[in-house]
Amino acid sequence: MTFTNTIPLVTSMAILAVVTSIAAPAFAETYEVQMLNKDPENKKNKNIFKPAFLKINPGDTVKFVSANKGHNTQSVKGMIPEGAEKWKSKISKDFEITFDVEGTYGYKCTPHYAMGMVGVIVVGNGNGNLAAAKSKKAPKKAAKAFEALYAQVTE
């Protein structure tokens, strides 16, 4: 038995493994969240993120689109997983962020936080920091909105 025929096979398998690991991020998805003055489907809902709840995979990207001026996106201290990168976008500017750490992320529009303009992104299973995120104090309308969004985490 000779080993000369197995060397190219082993080399080919190693190359395939490297290429596959490099290409894996290419399967990541980008999700869009609009920052709006009014919900186009229900004009009574003002100052919203649409959608306000997302469930994504690690490595996915969320693009916040400034559909109306005067909004931004900012992570809420105490509502993101340990080791995750906090963020704060500029007002009226589109913003992208890639989520690599699994967990639940609470975010807000800085100018409209007290009015309840908040959102939640669940990365992976999202349960690691859910209790900590739920226990974080927020303004009354924001707290009510977060409560409804957190209910979707376990669904």
- Binding residues for Cu cation, as ranges, are 71, 109, 112, 117
Q: Are 68 and 36 in contact (CB under 8 A)?
A: yes
Q: Which residues contact 32 (CB under 8 A, 6 or more apart)?
A: 62, 63, 65
Residues 6+ apart with CB under 8 A from 98: 28, 59, 60, 61
Binding site, residues?
71, 109, 112, 117
3-state class of 66 per DSSP? coil
- In this structure, the chain runs to a length of 155
* Environment class of 117 (CB within 10 Å of its CB; exposed 0-12, middle 13-18, buried 19+): buried
